[in-house]
Amino acid sequence: MAFFFEKRGPNRCVIAPIIRYPYPAHLHEVVEIVLVRRGQLNMKVNGKDYMLTPNCLVAIFPYMIHSYLSVSEDAEGLFVGIVPELIAEYEKALTTQWPVEPFLRILPEDQDLTMAADKLEAFMKEKEKNPLTQAYVHLYLSCLFTKLKLVPASEMNQNHFLFDVMYYVQEHATENLTLESVAKAMGVGKSHLSHLFSQKLQINFRVFLNTIRIDKACAMLQEKAVNIKQVSYECGFENTRTFHRVFQESQKMTPGEYRERMLQGYALRA
């Protein structure tokens, strides 16, 4: 399951099961913490591969490029997505720094970290929002800060042009974007940009664009008042037929089925 976050949107925090299928390279303005409880999850973060086994996690800070490469059939775990402003104490660090090493293995002595994860996982299974959710999210993040070495994000971001391209596409994803229009906006040739996507991200431009659009659609579908046709057009799709096809390919269910699962409390939104 993928989540699209907007600072002005309804979801300042999302707690959910980990994704169950590969997902292409993307970035966003949210802190994403992925903890594996069972099975295996192979991720790429800022160009480096990580194999997550039970009790391993990755902490992805805003605008770190990441993808889900493979997920074992028995994989289970906890996904926590946090808009930095939710925890004012850490907002500046979260928006200006990156972890040198985002991978962590939870050890027996990490009792507070384990307790926080256990509590959040229990809250995720409850039908109603637990009033203690934000407190345990704060504890979870606090425990991670004691274990992560942080440096200015500018020191870690070695591919500024790739970052600029991905950020531009994400900011303009609901417009009528093409490979040609993005290449022109970035001041490069179409073939050069196409090569960048295929070599650096291992996906083509259209897949990357649709990934962003579907993430936004997932957020909008959590609101009853917005009809599916409106979601389709506001996310940049030319027609609802294309939207339904792309959504089902990405989420393995129809937009209507996704909305029903979310409204039934499949993920905890705070």
- In b/e form, how buried is each residue of 172-202, taking b as 16+ CB within 10 angstroms? bbeeebebeebbeebeeeeeebeebbeebbe
Q: Model's pTM, two decimal places? A: 0.76
CATH 2.60.120.10 domain extents, the chain: 13-155
Question: Which pLDDT score, from 0 to 100, does residue 2 have?
Answer: 42
Question: Which pLDDT score, from 0 to 100, does residue 185 have?
Answer: 95
- In CATH, what number does 13-155 get? 2.60.120.10
* Helix (H/G/I), strand (E/B), else coil: 189: coil
Task: Name the nearest CA neighbour of 89 among 154, 11, 7, 144.
Answer: 144
Question: Which pLDDT score, from 0 to 100, does residue 38 have?
Answer: 97
Structure tokens at 183: 């290449």
CB 34 within 8 A of CB 79: yes
pLDDT digit of tens for each residue in the chain (270 aa)? 444 333 334 457 888 899 888 888 888 888 999 999 999 999 999 889 999 999 999 999 988 889 999 999 999 999 999 989 888 999 999 999 999 999 999 999 999 999 999 999 999 888 777 889 999 999 999 999 999 999 998 887 767 788 889 889 988 999 999 999 999 999 999 999 999 888 888 889 998 899 889 988 988 887 777 899 999 999 999 899 999 999 999 888 999 998 888 776 544 444
CATH 1.10.10.60 domain extents, the chain: 159-263
- Hey, what CATH topology would domain 159-263 get? Arc Repressor Mutant, subunit A (1.10.10)
Q: In the chain, how many H helices and how many E strands?
A: 11, 12
- Where residue 84 falls (left for φ over 0; alpha for ψ -120 to 50; beta otherwise) is alpha
User: φ and ψ at 102, to 5 degrees?
Assistant: -80, -10
